[in-house]
A and B are shown apart, each in its own frame.
Chain A
């Protein structure tokens, strides 16, 4: 997985927690505007990899290796440098949009907060921008909605708010950690479509973290499969999903295919019992 001009280049990343390497030598790279999936089950180290890149690991974690954005080292940088980058160059959206938003702050302010922080927008300019962004992520009645609080929104709407806030400063890289896992399937489809459209419009690179192979197929071009903190397989998404080389990937794929009802496998037809 090498790109000529890497936007993000992670080399031999290790995260150590209480004597255990939870991320154990992970390397991958992303070119500008590229969409890459990071696949793995719970405990595979995929979320910690993302948090390490953002410098947001919980205390007690020891990180070694390197993660470079535009060639600039992110690991071991001071918190001030990193917080300047976060929101401007790097943004992240999380699995639980309900806990990712401040329950006591109006939605509009949460969308425009990064603009005021990093771009020096005035209060009024930020308020106008918030309405624009709310409209851009497909939130209904944006004028009124920016004045509401997170609990007044549905789960899908809250995730749209998170996406708007994350993309407000046009970051070079968006990290999405299971952004649709907590949502209903129909809402998931909408959010995935929205996310795909926005990142391609803005030329933002996307690092998409998920356990769901079918979701990653819908969003990314390339992927890396993680297991026990190691990359076990990388390649073009289509190739890996059609002909996985690693036995663990094959196992994951077989498990995921079991619940794809219209894939014609002899095994799934035999399994269903109809008395």
Chain B
């Protein structure tokens, strides 16, 4: 684990010196990322407590690669997602995309970033506005990002890409099952032709069989469009299924990261070992 960290640090300085060389700049990276929240004071005169939701997190994603971030509740993975997406401002460190810093601020200023990095959230029931038709929801990123022209054709195209009939355009989210809603959310994320898809627990609210279908769909889409994936999940199995790189998060820090096969077969950190041992297993067929 320490080796991985050192290597990451070394790479970062190398990237700074050779920023003009396109190949040396990773597609998407976070460096020394930190975010803390103030807790209520425990005594009237004492200093307020501080909780480090994310602490010194360094990550990188190569073009077309798939990175999984595994953590249990309270590990800070949701905060990390917000930081990576430029939805929350870090207290320390930076997020860079193609070497350019992603700084939260006016939506217009981040358009270049949002065109390339889109997100799928956990609960498809919650991430779709109940009062917006499917067509309007899928077209939303296009409208927000100022993509010119009639979006209808693109909406039909992405709905077909997620195996939905384009005729569902005029219907409302509540008319669909959980799996179908997640397909709609994926279609929305695909609409502006992103390079990277961030999934925040994208299959956690789904039944096993549907979960397998959605994972399958994500894998196919990533392969076909050469999409980079950042997949955040509490489920090691989900990450193992889709990602070639894995990072294990606990109490706001990354305790271990590396190639998925290596980490899963030879976990180095005690927490990773405990986590893997706790996953209930099926008997072999």
Instruction: Give the interface size bracket for B toward A.
Output: 35 or more
Bound Cα distance A78, B207 (Å): 36
Whether B237 lies near A184 (C-beta < 8 A) is: no
Bound Cα distance A70, B81 (Å): 53
Q: Which of B26-80 contact A (CB under 8 A)?
A: 64-66, 72-73
B275 within 8 A of A: yes
Q: How far is the CB of B126 from chain A (nearest CB, A)?
A: 16
A: number of interface residues (CB 8 Å)? 41
A5 within 8 A of B: no
A251 within 8 A of B: yes
Whether A186 lies near B278 (C-beta < 8 A) is: yes
Whether B208 lies near A41 (C-beta < 8 A) is: yes
Q: Is the interface of A mostly helix, strand, loop or mixed?
A: helix
Partner-contacting stretch, out of A9-17, A59-67, A125-133, A266-274: A266-274
Contact with B along A219-257 (1 / 0, CB 8 A): 000000000000000000010011000000001111111
With both beta carbons as reference points, the residue of chain A lying nearest to B280 in the complex is identified as: A214
Q: How far is the CB of B60 from chain A (nearest CB, A)?
A: 15
Q: How far is the CB of B65 from chain A (nearest CB, A)?
A: 6
Whether A212 lies near B241 (C-beta < 8 A) is: no
Bound Cα distance A212, B211 (Å): 12
With both beta carbons as reference points, the residue of chain B lying nearest to A253 in the complex is identified as: B282
Bound Cα distance A268, B72 (Å): 24
Bound Cα distance A95, B264 (Å): 29
Could you list which residues of chain A lie within 8 angstroms of chain B, going by C-beta atoms?
Answer: 41-42, 155, 184-189, 192, 211-215, 217-218, 238, 241-242, 251-265, 268, 271-275
In the complex, chain B residues whose CB is within 8 Å of the CB of A241:
282-283
With both beta carbons as reference points, the residue of chain B lying nearest to A241 in the complex is identified as: B283
Pick from B219, B260, B275, B282: contact of A256, CB under 8 Å: B282
Q: How far is the CB of B77 from chain A (nearest CB, A)?
A: 12
Bound Cα distance A87, B109 (Å): 60
Bound Cα distance A263, B226 (Å): 27
Whether B235 lies near A259 (C-beta < 8 A) is: yes
Known: A217-B283, A260-B282. A252 touches B208 (CB 8 A): yes
Bound Cα distance A189, B280 (Å): 7
In the complex, chain B residues whose CB is within 8 Å of the CB of A184:
72-73, 234
B242 within 8 A of A: yes
B127 within 8 A of A: no
Which of B211, B280, B285 counts the most A-chain CB atoms under 10 A from its CB?
B280
In the complex, chain A residues whose CB is within 8 Å of the CB of B3:
none
Whether B274 lies near A186 (C-beta < 8 A) is: yes
In the complex, chain B residues whose CB is within 8 Å of the CB of A186:
72, 274-275, 278
In the complex, chain A residues whose CB is within 8 Å of the CB of B283:
217, 238, 241-242
Whether B72 lies near A213 (C-beta < 8 A) is: no
Bound Cα distance A255, B210 (Å): 8
In the complex, chain A residues whose CB is within 8 Å of the CB of B284:
263-264
B279 within 8 A of A: yes
In the complex, chain A residues whose CB is within 8 Å of the CB of B241:
258-259, 261, 268, 271-272
Whether B207 lies near A185 (C-beta < 8 A) is: no
Which of B64, B207, B238 counts the most A-chain CB atoms under 10 A from its CB?
B207
B236 within 8 A of A: yes
Bound Cα distance A258, B64 (Å): 22
Whether A217 lies near B280 (C-beta < 8 A) is: yes
Bound Cα distance A2, B238 (Å): 38
Bound Cα distance A155, B73 (Å): 10
Whether A256 lies near B285 (C-beta < 8 A) is: no
Whether A273 lies near B207 (C-beta < 8 A) is: no
Pick from B64, B216, B285: contact of A257, CB under 8 Å: B285
In the complex, chain B residues whose CB is within 8 Å of the CB of A253:
282
Known: A184-B72, A259-B241, A272-B244. A217 touches B207 (CB 8 A): no
Bound Cα distance A147, B280 (Å): 34
Beyond A256-B282, A259-B240: 18 further Cβ-contacts under 8 Å?
A184-B73, A184-B234, A186-B274, A186-B278, A192-B280, A217-B280, A217-B282, A251-B209, A252-B208, A252-B209, A259-B215, A264-B284, A271-B241, A272-B244, A273-B223, A273-B244, A275-B226, A275-B244
Q: Which of B205-225 contact A (CB under 8 A)?
A: 207-209, 211-212, 215-216, 219, 222-223
